[in-house]
Structure formats: structure tokens, C-alpha cells
Amino acid sequence: MKNLKTTARSTVAMRRWGPPGIVTLAAMVAFAALGPATAAKQTRQVAEQVAQREAGEPIMAIVSIKSQQVTFYDAEGWILRAPVSTGTTGRETPAGVFAIVEKDRDHRSTMYDDAWMPHMQRITWNGIALHGGPLPGYAASHGCVRMPFGFAENLFDKTNIGMRVIISPNDAAPADFSHPSLFVPKREAIAAVPSRADKLSYEADEATRASDEAKKAAAAAAKEAASLPASLRKLEQQKTRADAELAFADKTLANAKTDQARAKAEELKQKAAAKAADATTQLDAAKAAAQPKRDAVAATKEAAKVAATKKADAVKAATDAKLALEPVSVYISRATQKLYVRRNTHKPAPDGGGEVFDTSIEVPVTIRNPDQPLGTHIFTAMARNDTGLRWSVVTIDSGDDAKNALDRITIPQDVWDRIGPTALPRSSIIISDEPLSAETNYRTEFVAVLSHQPQGGFITRKPTAPPMDVASDDGWDNGGNGFGFFYQQRDPYVQPANPRRQRGQYQYFQSTQPMQRSWW
């Protein structure tokens, strides 16, 4: 990233990004009511700033709890900067790694008496967000990051779901970085992605139609065969009664004492024998007719099973191709010694709110000297360059330096071969001592919190409710589109993450049994 010199203009200059924000009457009243001490604090705040160049799409935001400031960056450097107000003592904004998971222009809090939180950009589902709000000049929120009203308004339409939000306990900024372990995309692989995605999507649609036809055939055969057991039972009962009547006639004939009685018994036997023979014929015929129907049920059921397998394979292949068009995010945890991969599917969550993130890769990694801290480093692909991608790094937790941290990790080559050739700008690799927060679920990118920093803003909120059960193999309500594979039930078993703060004042929870995932 270019080391652009920080420049500033008045907030009037923000018109290039949109209309200037309007300070509400409530905000003016609040500011007017500030006492002398608070006003003195406020005069030391950094003013809103805009870089003196054309702004690109924001790639990340870095919130400094120490400086009470947020800075947004595009591929070339910082573009916007403003003062903020983070969580107050006991309700501290958690430091860590987040991403925008939902946006609401006119949000009302369900947690704090319908409080107005305009231009809300959520980063956890348990209530941590960036939004417009009053700034007294110091940390004063209940855990959210308040931004100036006009700044939040102008920013709202510039960010996207999945944009990285880094909350640092100290001042942090991206620095240029290169390392052989970072993704090196291949132009030919990227160029082939759209046509491959179209081809595999068509094949998935065809496989889905074939599977649906096979399901219908199996259902029809099963329906036709459904009445067979009852019909056969009825014929078997008729044969049993006929055989019993024939046996009674035989007995009657054997016991006859007179010619007249024998004649009458003989006549009864002949009728019973004819009836028994007819019942046997009907039963045998029904059994013979039933066998092809049973065979059809077995055959169509097996055909439906084969078609469903082909459909699953085709849908997974199509999904893989679609996801190759998206930036990829990787998280490597020293705590779990695992590597996790996520991409945004851009499918709306079926239970409401946010979008679905693919969670299909979770594999072990080898970390040299695993008892030694790595720190927390966020490597981001800022833009394309002649060698593939230009990278930056942001470090928010001391441990090993960024280069050494990457050097210590042995990443499975098959994972890199799968996702590296089509890696795009805004892809990222996060290395941390921390496990993923229990707030990480199918509706989030990665959520990781620094366990040695105050987390009161997490503690005062209930954890996100467990998500829906695993969806069907072809999407919601059998709707298709290949994203049904991503839904997993969140693990209900959690344990304390061993926070480093004394007396256990702050805790957050981590999963003890990661959900089972398959490859794309």
C-alpha cells in the first residue's frame, strides 16, 4: 500500500462522497448540555477527514479504542477518518476481528428501549455495530462504535456486507507486506472462472431436474405399490377361509353314516374345493402381479438415490465455481491449530437478516512452537499487481511479528491449490492466538476477540441464538441454487476461552466441538 501522507479537509469536502450529514436537534441539545470538563475533552478530538483524492471502494475499517477514531481504507490508503465513541467501562467494545454482517438505515435497538441507531452496520449478531450517534469525546456507548451522524450517513452506501472491520486496542494501520505463503493467483485460472461457473451451473440445473424426475417416479411407484399389502392380506384371508371350509367338508364326509348324508357332504366338499381353488388362483395371480410393482419401487428408489448423488456432486461443483468469483477469507488459530475458510455466498439468510457465508473448509494446520504466541495479524489483498496481488498487514496484538508468524505455519498445500489460483483483491488471511468466537456462525464472516482485552460489550449481551437446522441438499425449501450445503447447526457446547484478565471479569465463549464440514 502506498504510504500516503495524511491530509484533511473540512467536512464540506465530504460532498464528493455524498451530501453532508445534518446534525439532528437532539444531537445539538446533547452537545449544548456538555459540561466544561467534557467540552475540553471534545476539543481534543480529531476532526472528520477526507483524503484529497478520488476514493475507491472501502476494503477495511480500523477502529482505535485508544484514540477513539475510525479510519476507512481503500486499495490505495486511507480515505475517511472520524472520531468515535466506543464502549464505556464495563461495557467495553471488544477488540478483535469482525466484518459487516447486516446494514439497516433506520435501526431501532431491541436491546436498549428502542434507541435510535441510524445507519447501523452490524458486526456481530449479539448487538455490536457501527452506527451514527452522539460523541461526548470519550468512550460512552454500551459496546457499539458510535460515529458522527453525518459521517455514518455518507458512509452507509459505500460499504458492503463482508467488509473487514478491525477493532484495535491501540493505533494500527495497514503496512505493505509480501511473503511466499500468501496467495498467488493465476490469470488463466481467474479468466476461466466465469465460463466454468456457467457450465457447471447448467450441469447442476440439469442434474437437479433429473433428480426431481427420479423422485417423482419413485413416489409414483411407491404410491401404486402402497395398496399391495392390504390387497394380498384380503386374498390370503379368503384362501384361509376357503381352505377351512374344504377341511370341514372333508371331515363331514368322513363322518357321514348314510348314503344321503354322504351325498350331501360330497356336494359340500365339491363346492368348498372349487372355492378354495379359486381363492388360490386369485392369490397366486395377485402375487405374480405384485412382484413387478415391488421391483419398480426398488428400481425407481435406487435410480432416485443415484440421481440425488449426481445432483449433489454437480451442485457442489457449481457452488465451488461460483465461490471462486468471490474474495476468500482464511483464519488460522493457534488455540485450535486449525485453518478455516469462508466466502460470502450473497444468499439472504433464510431465517432473516444478513447473508450466508460458506463454511465448508476446516482443516488442521501445523504450527512450529505452538506454545509461543503468534499475535493477531490481518493480511489483506489490496489490489492486483504484476506479480498477482499486493498485500498489506495490520497487527493488533503483540506476539511474534507478522513474517515470523507466517513462517511458523505449515498450511496444507491442497487447500492453497484449491483457493489460491483464483484469489481476488479483498481476500484475507488472519493469523491469531485466539479461537474463533462463538459469535462466528453461518451468517458471519470470522469473529475473533482478543481475550486479554476488556469485553464488557459482549458479556452484557446474550449470545446469538443457534441457527436453523441443516438445510436440504438443494437449498431452502428445495429451491436450489446450490447453497443448501452451507447450513450447519451451531454447536451448543461451549467453554470459557481462558481470558487473560484477572479474576475472570471478562469472558467469552468458544465451541468445544467444531461442526463437521465437507469439502466444497
142 belongs to the catalytic site: no
- Annotated active-site residue in 107, 131, 142, 377: 131
SS3 content of the chain, % helix, strand, coil (to 5): 35, 25, 40
Taking the CA atoms of 255, 260, 263 and 266 in sequence, report the sign of the dihedral they define.
negative
In the DSSP assignment, the letter for residue 141 is: B
* Beta strands, E only, 111-205: 116-122, 129-132, 145-147, 164-168, 175-177
Q: 126 vs 344, 400, 422, 447, CA distance in Å?
A: 20, 31, 33, 12
Query: Pairing state of beta strands 428-432 and 329-333?
Result: parallel
Q: Phi/psi of residue 304, each to 5°? A: -65, -40
Rounded to whole angstroms, the maximal C-alpha distance in the chain is 132
346 belongs to the catalytic site: no
Q: 199 vs 196, 203, 313, 319, 458, CA distance in Å?
A: 5, 6, 14, 12, 45
Q: CB neighbours of 110 closer than 8 A, spacing ≥ 6?
A: none
Residue 412 contacts residue 339 (beta carbons within 8 Å): yes
Angstrom distance (rounded) from CA 340 to CA 332 = 6
Residue 78 contacts residue 72 (beta carbons within 8 Å): yes
Q: What distance, in Å, lies between the first and last C-alpha atoms of the chain?
A: 33
- Annotated active-site residue in 107, 142, 144, 377: 144
Cell numbers that stand for 401 in this block: 511479528
The catalytic residue positions are 131, 144
